[in-house]
Structure 1
Amino acid sequence: MSEGCRTDEVVEMLRQEALFELPHDFGAGSDLFELGMDSMAVMQLIVIIEERWGVALGAEDASRENLGTPEKLAATIQARQ
């Protein structure tokens, strides 16, 4: 498990995991839901986050406020570490 979670780590993880197609200009402020993140991808993402950062997110965390962009996702992970 890594100490902390940075936005660039989240961007890289999303590129590596390829849960949905990402554009070439994908970055910290990209809207994951607009890019095609669906409920199945959210559930997979929650599992990956727990495995990688040791943070358990629940269905109540699956919102644009918490997971909408890599930046928001990194902040959510940091807040729960």
Structure 2
Amino acid sequence: MSAPCQPEDVVEMLRDEGLVDLPAGAGADTDLFDAGLDSMAVMQLIVIVEEKWGVALGAADAHRDALGTPARLAETINARR
């Protein structure tokens, strides 16, 4: 099994993909919805997570508690592995 996903991995992926406008000091607790994560970006994020980490996220995961911050998204990814 590969290393667990870390919040820093999520921040790097979000910067690479340009899904949200992360502030310069974005970290584990940055609110992704405040940074521009909307319903279309959530759908793109679900596809990217599956491609990058091999984790299938579904509609039940498309909410703030599961992916509202890099830390929460990393936890969700790791829980689905």
TM-score, scaled relative to structure 1: 0.92
- Secondary structure at the aligned position of 2:32 is classed as coil
Once residues 65 and 48 of structure 1 are traced to their aligned partners in structure 2, the CA distance between those partners, rounded to angstroms, is 19
- Structure 1: unaligned runs, 5 residues or longer: none
> Counterpart of 1:70 in structure 2: which amino acid?
P
1:78 is displaced (CA, Å) by 0.3
The alignment partner of 2:4 has SS state of: coil
Letter in 2 for 1:50: E
- Between stretches 53-62 and 20-29, larger displacement belongs to 20-29
Q: Return the alpha-carbon distance in structure 1 between the equivalents of residues 75 and 47 of structure 2.
A: 17
Higher RCO, 1 or 2 (CA under 8 Å, sep at least 6)? Answer: 1
Per the alignment, in what secondary structure is the counterpart of residue 37 of structure 2? Answer: coil
TM-score w.r.t. the length of structure 2 is: 0.92
2:53 equivalent to 1:40: no
* Residue number in structure 1 paired with 2:77: 77
Does structure 1 retain, via aligned residues, the 8 Å contact 2:7–2:27?
A: no
* Percentage of pairs with the same residue: 64
Partner of 1:18: 18
CA distance in 1, matches of 2:6, 2:34: 22
1:1-56, Cα deviation, whole Å (9 max, x unpaired): x5421111111111111112111121110000111100000000000000010000
Q: What is the aligned residue count?
A: 81
CA RMSD of aligned residues (A): 1.4
Q: Partner of 1:53 in structure 2? A: 53
